[in-house]
Amino acid sequence: MKYYVLFGPPGAGKGTQAGAMAERFHLCHISTGELLRSEIAAGTPLGMEAKALIDAGNLVPDEVVEGMIEAKFDSVKGVDGFLLDGFPRTVAQADALKDMVARRGESVTACVSLMIPDALVHERIAHRAQLEGRADDARDEVVSNRIQNYHSKTEPLIAYYKAAGLYCEIDGVGTIDEVRERIFKVMA
């Protein structure tokens, strides 16, 4: 089984590229952001707890997302692997992932990192706010907090996966098709 981590700042295009990647390589796409948004939409206790954090641009607790990921690993069958979009977002989550995968006798295949500059993060999220109406995209201070959390909590994963020899960086600036071709080239 393949275990790909799809990494990048908010608005880097992870969700946009993940569908094509999953289809091409027969992977189950798991987006922690989407899983959390469906918990919120369903009004579950987990969703209610997550909503306040997400709407403020903060991360939800590590144990919450780790549990969602493990449940998917346990339940999804008939794929060649998993594409993790938005997970891990902290070093603790990366360690938890390593353990979960090791318990299955496997290891993380690669960290595919979509890189765009901060200025473009703001621009893309402002654009998406118009299209998708996500509460956490609408307010500048929330977007800034997400970017700050990215730099302080998530960016250390670049060094983490570099040290593990798994880090694969892709220029995320360009058209959707251009970026997809760059990704396919490194995954092939």
CA 94 to chain centre: 12
CA atoms within 13 A on the CB side of 98: 12
Secondary structure (3-state) at 84: strand
Active site residue 182: no
The residue from 37, 124, 146, 180 that is catalytic is 146
Using alpha carbons only, give the angle 99, 163, 86 rounded to the nearest 5 degrees. Answer: 55
Binders in 49-78 for ligand ATP, by CB under 6 A: 53-54, 58-60, 65
Q: Which residues contact 113 (CB under 8 A, 6 or more apart)?
A: 7, 8, 158, 161, 167, 168, 169, 170
For ligand ATP, the binding residue among 4, 5, 10, 183 (CB under 6 A) is: 10
Tell me how far, at minimum, the Cβ of 15 lies from Mg ion, in Å.
4
Which residue has 């706010």 as its token pair?
129
Q: Please identify, using beta-carbon distances, which residue of 11 and 112 lies nearer to ligand ATP.
A: 11
Shortest Cβ 65–ligand ATP spacing (Å) = 4
Indicate which of ligand ATP, Mg ion, none lies near residue 172 (CB less than 5 to 8 Å, by partner kind): none
Helix (H, G, I), strand (E, B) or coil at 83: strand
Residues 6+ apart with CB under 8 A from 67: none
Q: Which does 54 bind (CB under 5 to 8 A by kind): ligand ATP, Mg ion, none?
A: ligand ATP
For residue 142, state whether it binds ligand ATP (rule: CB under 6 A).
no
Residues that bind ligand ATP in the complex, under the rule CB under 6 A: 8, 10-12, 14-15, 32-33, 36, 53-54, 58-60, 65, 86-87, 89, 93, 136, 146
Catalytic residues: 14, 89, 128, 134, 146
